[in-house]
Amino acid sequence: MTEMVYGSSPIRVTEPILSRWWRTIDKWSLTAVLVLFGVGLGLIYLPAGLIGSGAVIMAVALFGPRGKV
């Protein structure tokens, strides 16, 4: 997408492949993919009890307590 908008950067013959890749990659998309990957790994390795209690805590935080006080 970046190259379509701004055009491709000039390629130097002596430039290493990794630095050329880093210069041309869309860093926002790479960051978003890595964040989603990290969230997925976090959900995989969390114990099931923590996910359930986290859902209850999130519901109370969003909607407030529903019982009589």
pLDDT tens across 35-58, in order?
A: 999 888 877 776 666 666 666 667
**Distance, first Cα to last Cα, the chain:** 55
Q: Is residue 69, in this structure, part of any structural domain at all?
A: no
Q: Is residue 21, in this structure, part of any structural domain at all?
A: yes
Specify the pLDDT at position 32.
94
The model scores a pTM over 0.75: no
Q: How confident is the model at residue 11 (pLDDT cuts 50, 70, 90)?
A: low
Q: Is residue 29, in this structure, part of any structural domain at all?
A: yes
Per the structure block, which two tokens stand in for 10? 């000039």
23, 9 Cβ separation under 8 angstroms: yes
Domain span including residue 35: 2-63
Domains: count for the chain: 1
Specify the pLDDT at position 67.
56
Q: Is residue 68, in this structure, part of any structural domain at all?
A: no
Q: How confident is the model at residue 33 (pLDDT cuts 50, 70, 90)?
A: very high
The C-alpha atoms of residue 64 and residue 31 are separated, in whole angstroms, by 33
